Structure 1
Amino acid sequence: MEWLSPSCLPIVVLLMHCSLCLAVTVTTTRHKVEVHEFADAELSCQFNTERENNPRIEWKKKGQDVSFVYYDGHFKGPFEGRATIQGATVTLRRVTQKDAGEYRCEISAPLDSVSLAETNITLRVLVPPHTPHCEIPSSAVTGSVVQLRCRDHQSIPPATYSWYKNNQQLPPPRNANASYLIDKHNGMLEFKAVSKDDSGQYRCLASNGVGSPKMCDGNHMSIEDVSVVAVVAAVVVCLLLVAVASGVMLLHRNGFFSRHRGRSNVNYVPPPQEPQDFKHTQSFML
């Protein structure tokens, strides 16, 4: 057996030293936790120390700023009185959307060679659909483009939408030539060119797999043909307005509306006549 060269001795010493290194370790059973709104959420945190018998346990929540959840043996801020801890595992009671976010469990063990370890847990709070807001026109003209809208801004995960006409679900369009389009993600129902057959009671259903789906009250949409008499009357009115406007412009251009046209001099006073003797301008013949 050959002796190790002197250059290898530092490496051997380092390996022997590291084999004796004692470090605190932190683990979790679930890095992502999903619970329904107003349910309890368990944030798992387990730790192991080699020398330290009294490690310091801290929980923090990340946001715009890092805030304490559990520090110095007590819960802080909005978690005070509505959270419990067992070991290092925290349970939050009746969580809301304000509780959703990323949490960090930190274990500090000063007597261990590596004295600090942590693990991160993301809490997602699921919210069932609320009654969606629907925009359904009460009337439209045949051949026009009509859009019906449906939206619920509070559901988590975001809701998907389906439309009903006269209590019958409208099937998804099979091809691009269909008379209507449905976007289940943004809740829009669009008719490319409505016909009288599209008249009916329309409602929208929002669902996201959390809780019960919700439907808006809906509205009746009537599709009417274009009135020929109304169109002709509108055209005649437009032509009359154009004719009147053209006539006014022509008169104005010819000076008809000049400020001094036709104005009489009401202040004019004829000069006085001087008295003159009567003179015969014609001789009389006897």
Structure 2
Amino acid sequence: SNPSVKVKENEGVDLKCSYTADFGSSPRVEWKFKDLKGSQTLVYFDNQPTGKYAGRITVYDGGLRFNKVTRADTGDYDCEVSGNNGYDEKTIKLTVLVPPSKPVSRIPSSVTTGSNARLTCFDTDGSPPSTYRWYKDNTPLPDDPTKFPNFKNLTYKMNVFNGNLEFASVSKLDTGSYFCEASNGEGTPQRGDAVRMEVHDLNVGGIVAGVIVALLAVGLLLFGLWFASKKGYLPSNKPKQQAVYTQPRTDNIDDGDVSTTYLAQLSK
């Protein structure tokens, strides 16, 4: 297995990489770094530190020295040596120790009996990564409740590595005040804020009452529209009447009697 080195944040550390004389008097030495996400960068190349490592590291025969490490330096360091047609490499795992910070937790305040619920907890700073424990009403919950008589009626599942506390089907027994704790062996374990989770039955009566109120509201609206229409308060869609005027015939006009008659015919 690869050698592992642990050091507290802001302290110095040496990563050893010795080699034999078989590589000649001036072997080529390169250092590469791969972080926890798998991203790889050059640390030492062409006999000098690269980029952000300038002024932070010193390379000597047999190793590399960090003047001061940060949490971002946690990862794998590859030392590659070549010369005289020979090649060898060595990987060193560096863990920068950082105490956990106050974890961020998500706890529902109200859930319905029989539904599922997930409580989450996460610490953003701990190195190595924190493990998690949950408390209910200030009592630590065991990883497996079925193994303890006082908790055998509880049906949760706890993942100490990702911080999840899951209930497949909550019951009234699960009501209580919950908080989580993060620890990684460095510094003091840190606790999140406590939140009370209430488990309540589905309010069937309230749902029925809501449906009845909604139906009454629709009925009143329809009655109002009918009443307004009957009283003529709503605009009518009937077409407007039009008047058509025609000039009457003048075949039978008496002598000396000049008159004009208009006939108005209404069309609907």
Q: Which residue among 102, 120, 145 is the counterpart of 1:131? A: 102
Cα distance change of structure 1 residues 86 and 202 upon mapping to structure 2, 3 Å threshold: same
Give the aligned partner of residue 233 of structure 2: none
Matched, 1:82 2:52: no
Q: Secondary structure at the match of 2:199?
A: strand
Q: Which residue among 12, 15, 32 is the counterpart of 1:61? A: 32
Q: Secondary structure at the match of 1:46?
A: coil
Q: Is the 1:96–1:125 Cα contact (8 Å) retained in structure 2?
A: no
Larger radius of gyration: 1
Q: Is the 2:32–2:42 Cα contact (8 Å) retained in structure 1?
A: yes
Q: Is the 2:23–2:86 Cα contact (8 Å) retained in structure 1?
A: no
Provide Cα deviations, 1:190-243, integer angstroms capped at 9, x if missing partner.
234434443322101122334432221121223344445423312324555888
- Once residues 77 and 138 of structure 1 are traced to their aligned partners in structure 2, the CA distance between those partners, rounded to angstroms, is 49
Cα distance change of structure 1 residues 162 and 36 upon mapping to structure 2, 3 Å threshold: same
Give the aligned partner of residue 280 of structure 1: none
Give the aligned partner of residue 11 of structure 1: none
Give the aligned partner of residue 178 of structure 2: 202
Aligned partner of 1:158: which letter?
Answer: P
Q: Which residue among 137, 141, 149 is the counterpart of 1:170? A: 141
Cα distance change of structure 1 residues 216 and 106 upon mapping to structure 2, 3 Å threshold: same
Q: Which residue among 75, 78, 88 is the counterpart of 1:103? A: 78
Q: Hey, which of these two has a bigger chunk of strand by percent?
A: 2
Q: Is the 1:142–1:196 Cα contact (8 Å) retained in structure 2?
A: yes
**What is the 5 A alignment of 1:179-194?**
179-194=155-170
- Once residues 41 and 172 of structure 2 are traced to their aligned partners in structure 1, the CA distance between those partners, rounded to angstroms, is 60
User: Can you give the 5+ residue segments of structure 2 that lack an aligned partner in the other structure?
Assistant: 223-235, 254-268
Cα distance change of structure 1 residues 105 and 92 upon mapping to structure 2, 3 Å threshold: farther
Matched, 1:120 2:96: no
Cα distance change of structure 1 residues 105 and 202 upon mapping to structure 2, 3 Å threshold: same
**What is the 5 A alignment of 1:259-278?**
263-269=237-243, 271=245, 274=248
TM-score (ref. length: structure 1) = 0.63
Q: Is the 1:150–1:161 Cα contact (8 Å) retained in structure 2?
A: yes
User: Can you give the 5+ residue segments of structure 1 that lack an aligned partner in the other structure?
Assistant: 1-29, 109-113, 248-261, 278-286
Q: Is the 1:142–1:193 Cα contact (8 Å) retained in structure 2?
A: yes
Aligned-residue offset at 1:62: 4.6
RMSD: 4.0
Q: Is the 2:120–2:163 Cα contact (8 Å) retained in structure 1?
A: yes
Matched, 1:218 2:190: no
Aligned-residue offset at 1:51: 9.8
Aligned partner of 2:5: which letter?
Answer: V
Matched, 1:144 2:115: yes
- Once residues 180 and 242 of structure 1 are traced to their aligned partners in structure 2, the CA distance between those partners, rounded to angstroms, is 44
Aligned length: 230
Aligned-residue offset at 1:267: 4.0
Aligned-residue offset at 1:161: 1.8
Q: Is the 1:34–1:125 Cα contact (8 Å) retained in structure 2?
A: yes
Aligned partner of 1:230: which letter?
Answer: G
TM-score (ref. length: structure 2) = 0.66
- Once residues 33 and 141 of structure 2 are traced to their aligned partners in structure 1, the CA distance between those partners, rounded to angstroms, is 44
Give the aligned partner of residue 17 of structure 2: 45
Cα distance change of structure 1 residues 77 and 263 upon mapping to structure 2, 3 Å threshold: closer
Cα distance change of structure 1 residues 143 and 76 upon mapping to structure 2, 3 Å threshold: closer
- Once residues 58 and 217 of structure 2 are traced to their aligned partners in structure 1, the CA distance between those partners, rounded to angstroms, is 79
Provide Cα deviations, 1:73-105, integer angstroms capped at 9, x if missing partner.
x54433332323443222212223443332214
Give the aligned partner of residue 256 of structure 2: none
Cα distance change of structure 1 residues 51 and 218 upon mapping to structure 2, 3 Å threshold: closer
